[in-house]
Amino acid sequence: MSERRLHHADSAAFRNAMRSLSSGVAVVACGDGDQRVGCTVTSFASLSLTPPTLFVCLARSSSTLAGLQAARAFSVNLLASRHEALAHRFSGRGGVHGRRRFEGALWIALATGAPILADALAAFDCIVEEAIERHSHVIVLGAVVSLREGMDEPALAYSRGDYAPAAGRTRAPQ
């Protein structure tokens, strides 16, 4: 049997194909005062319920990653469909950077001091458990030390290069 040499698929084709997947949208934030930084992410998920752990994927070139590594704490703020403008601002599309991205929204702090969006669908306050470097990104594992549940309303989704309300039901009444 001959050995085949396989190569990675074309990056542009891979990116285009992945656009078919709808994802939730969150803002990852860290730091305080003038040192606050944050970015919009769609690559995040829960990793473990026991203990509560999640992960986010950040580009190595991200200023948010640098701030997160310095602070060793961060938040993941799940966005509602009404947060589309906030998602755009934190994505850098409008040219707004650093602490200016936080203007126009109410931010609070929980256990770690990381910025928490007060009206997020849910917000997770994390400490950095591990950072795994892979290719162009870093996978950050976050131990969830506190959280905040928010309003029961449609989530913001990202698909085919645009934001839209996520399909599906909201949480059942408690």
Give pLDDT tens digits for 135-162.
Answer: 999 999 999 999 999 988 999 999 888 8
Residue 9 lies inside a defined structural domain of this protein:
no
Cα dihedral across residues 71, 97, 164, 23: positive or negative = negative
Q: Which residues pair with 139 in a beta bridge?
A: 57, 132
**Under 8 Å between Cβ of 145 and 125:** yes
**Under 8 Å between Cβ of 145 and 112:** yes
Candidates 52, 38, 15; CA nearest to 160 is 15
pLDDT of residue 1: 54
User: What mean pLDDT do residues 68-87 have?
Assistant: 97
CA distance 112 to 31: 10
Residue 121 lies inside a defined structural domain of this protein:
yes
The pLDDT of residue 7 is above 80 = yes
The pLDDT of residue 2 is above 90 = no
pLDDT-based confidence at residue 8 (cuts at 50, 70, 90): confident
pTM for this model (two decimals): 0.89
The pLDDT of residue 91 is above 80 = yes
The overall average pLDDT reported for the chain is: 91
State the distance between the two ends of the chain, measured CA to CA, in whole angstroms: 60
pLDDT-based confidence at residue 55 (cuts at 50, 70, 90): very high
Residue 10 lies inside a defined structural domain of this protein:
no
CA distance 137 to 109: 27
Instruction: Count up the domains in the chain and report the number.
Output: 1
Residue 39's CATH number: 2.30.110.10
**Under 8 Å between Cβ of 110 and 58:** no
Which of 20-29, 78-87, 164-173 tops mean pLDDT? Answer: 78-87
pLDDT of residue 5: 82
- Beta-strand ranges (E) seen in 25-169 are 26-30, 37-41, 44-49, 52-59, 73-78, 107-109, 115-117, 122-134, 137-149, 156-159, 162-165
Place of tokens 């669908």: 121
Residue span of the structural domain in which 125 resides: 24-151
The pLDDT of residue 169 is above 70 = no
